[in-house]
Amino acid sequence: MMTLKSERKILVEIAACKLVEGFFILLAANFLVSFINAPSEKILLATFGFFAGRFIIASRAEIFFARMSANVQTTFRKSIHEKIFIKATPSGELLTLIFDTVQSLDEFFLKVAPQIASTIIFLPMFIICAAVTDLLTAGILLLTLPIAPVLLWLIGKSTAEKNVRAWAELQKLNGDFRELLSAITTLKMFNRLDAGAKKIREASQKSSAATLDVLKLAFVSSFALELIITLSIALVAVTLGLRLVAGGIEFHAALFLLLIAPEFFLPIRKLGVAFHVTISARSSIERLKKFLVDTEKISGSIGKILMPPAITLDNVSFAYPRKNLPTLEHVSLAFAAGKVTALIGESGAGKSTLLKLLAGLLQPTAGKIFWNELPTSRVEKKSLLSKISYAPQAPHLFDATLKDNFTIFDALDDTELKNFLSELNLPLDLSSKQKLSRGQLQRLGLIRALLKNSPIILLDEPTAGLDALTEQKVLALIKKISLRKTIIIATHRDAVIRFADSVVNLG
């Protein structure tokens, strides 16, 4: 994750590159004028040298911007991954946030940020240089400069609204596509694939139309900006030409000012070309900030709770969005404190959903969940999640080393991790990013949950698909760490049911 110190260092490097690039532009223009006045090989070589140096420095600055973009994207993705465990988010919105929204920042850093830096550094340099050379030309440059930003601001207000609509349509398309994939077996069974494909096609067309509206407006804004900047440069050129004929300015100074006038407007021109990227990036930042800030809002309070707690469900119901029937309805159950409880029931009875409710990843649509006598709705979210370890049926393997995947919650002792791996017969290269089998992923999720060392541990089918010997090793490890912990295991396996202290049937 990018630190404040590293961010400042990159900004200083960018500013230094742009400052040197600006001097190279001015020196190249000056030497070119000198060569035209008095041609010589040395001046020509110096001119080519400064032009080449300008592009080399600009390339170096692009590398710094690319590094900053990667750091920022990594920071946002890590923050989003952390908030996944705090805030239940619709899959369509989550996919859009992690991929499209964060990725749009890359275009901002590669296309817009360099021009913003150039504008901040170059404009004062060129204005000062123009003022020293000729005050009238500097005045014309200053007079025509605000026209382009005002135009962009006016167009930006309309573009922002259209961009929000395009993002909403894309989010809906992602959600519909994921829903179709998850239900594809059922749709195939009832011969409803064509209807699902038609729904995706309609959502895709709406998303394309909304995106095209944004691009149309961006094209018009770029055209208007090009026209204004061209007229501004023409005004400078005509003024210099007339004054040169009248003898009001020297040829050397006029040619120098004519060469730097396009460079003066170049950063603003490039900003106009990438204007829709600016609007998209601003909307992306607002959505990311809203998602991250909303998850940090503190709600409820917490008093002293005896740990590990007894967990009670009082008339709890839950229904997924867009589902006609509730997954859980009027469920009242109790799980003993400090015991291992097996949660059993038929497939589809809602065991996984119940664990997500207990983990705080979903919120009941009705009823309450209690820790001892305290409703979990009154427990501050971060405090609640800090006391819960949850291992789903299919743990997620992040794009990181296996060691980072095992220790995503905290920096932990390597010895403890290696002991767990040894006890579960899981020889892995922790420094690698190797793919894992289903059984290995299950054990990764179990170890990840156990390493967190929370008083409440929720395990969803931790031994499904494992052979009997490996299953016994998993149960032995759970037994080893079960002291003063409330452990709930959703399972179908007879060995796990016999191992548990008590059994709760979600009938």
Considering only CA atoms, which of 184, 234, 229, 176 is closest in space to residue 203? 176
Residue scoring higher pLDDT (276 or 506): 506
Residue scoring higher pLDDT (240 or 274): 240
Per-residue pLDDT tens for 412-469?
667 777 788 888 877 777 777 778 878 888 888 888 888 888 899 999 988 887 888 8
Distance CA 250, CA 144 (A): 23
Residue scoring higher pLDDT (164 or 490): 490
* Mean pLDDT calculated for residue range 256-275: 80
Residue scoring higher pLDDT (413 or 397): 397
Per-residue pLDDT tens for 134-152?
899 889 888 888 877 777 6
504 SS3 class: strand
Mean of all residue pLDDT scores within the chain: 78
Q: Tell me what percent of the chain is helix, strand and coil, each rounded to the nearest 5.
A: 65, 10, 25
The answer, yes or no, to whether residue 344 has pLDDT greater than 50, is: yes
The answer, yes or no, to whether residue 93 has pLDDT greater than 80, is: no
Give pLDDT, residue 152. 66
Listed in sequence order, the DSSP H helices in 183-192 are: 184-189
CA atoms within 13 A on the CB side of 421: 16
Q: What angle do CA 145, 146, 151 make, to 5 degrees?
A: 120
Distance CA 492, CA 343 (A): 9
Dihedral of the alpha carbons of 15, 19, 21, 27, in degrees to the nearest 10: 180
Give pLDDT, residue 61. 82
Give pLDDT, residue 410. 60
Distance CA 102, CA 397 (A): 20
Phi-psi region of 484 (alpha: psi -120 to 50; beta: other; left: phi over 0): left
For residues 445 and 395, the answer to whether their CB atoms sit within 8 Å is yes
Per-residue pLDDT tens for 202-256?
767 766 776 666 666 667 667 777 788 888 888 888 999 898 888 888 888 888 8
Distance CA 315, CA 375 (A): 13
Considering only CA atoms, which of 389, 362, 383, 385 is closest in space to residue 303? 383
**Percent with pLDDT over 70 in the chain:** 73
The answer, yes or no, to whether residue 45 has pLDDT greater than 50, is: yes
Distance CA 93, CA 287 (A): 10
CA 492 from centroid of its chain's CA atoms: 37
For residue 100, the 8-state DSSP code is I
- Residue 183 phi/psi, 5° resolution? -110, 15
Q: Of 87-91, 104-108, 165-169, 374-378, which range is least confident?
A: 87-91
Give pLDDT, residue 298. 40
Per-residue pLDDT tens for 283-335?
666 666 676 665 444 444 444 556 788 999 999 999 887 777 788 888 999 99
Per-residue pLDDT tens for 181-194?
666 676 677 777 77
Distance CA 291, CA 97 (A): 9
pLDDT band of 2, cuts 50, 70, 90:
very low
Q: Is 282 exposed, middle or buried (0-12, 13-18, 19+ CB in 10 A)?
A: middle
What contacts 215, CB < 8 A, 6 or more positions away?
A: 276
Q: Which domains does the chain have, with CATH numbers?
A: 4-291 (1.20.1560.10), 311-505 (3.40.50.300)
Residue scoring higher pLDDT (288 or 388): 388
Give pLDDT, residue 303. 46
* Mean pLDDT calculated for residue range 160-168: 61
Considering only CA atoms, which of 240, 264, 242 is closest in space to residue 252? 240
Residue scoring higher pLDDT (223 or 353): 353
Give pLDDT, residue 299. 45
* Mean pLDDT calculated for residue range 28-52: 86
- Residue 319 phi/psi, 5° resolution? -135, 135
Phi-psi region of 360 (alpha: psi -120 to 50; beta: other; left: phi over 0): left
* Mean pLDDT calculated for residue range 196-201: 72
pLDDT band of 486, cuts 50, 70, 90:
very high
Structure tokens at 308: 């590990």
Q: Is 489 exposed, middle or buried (0-12, 13-18, 19+ CB in 10 A)?
A: buried
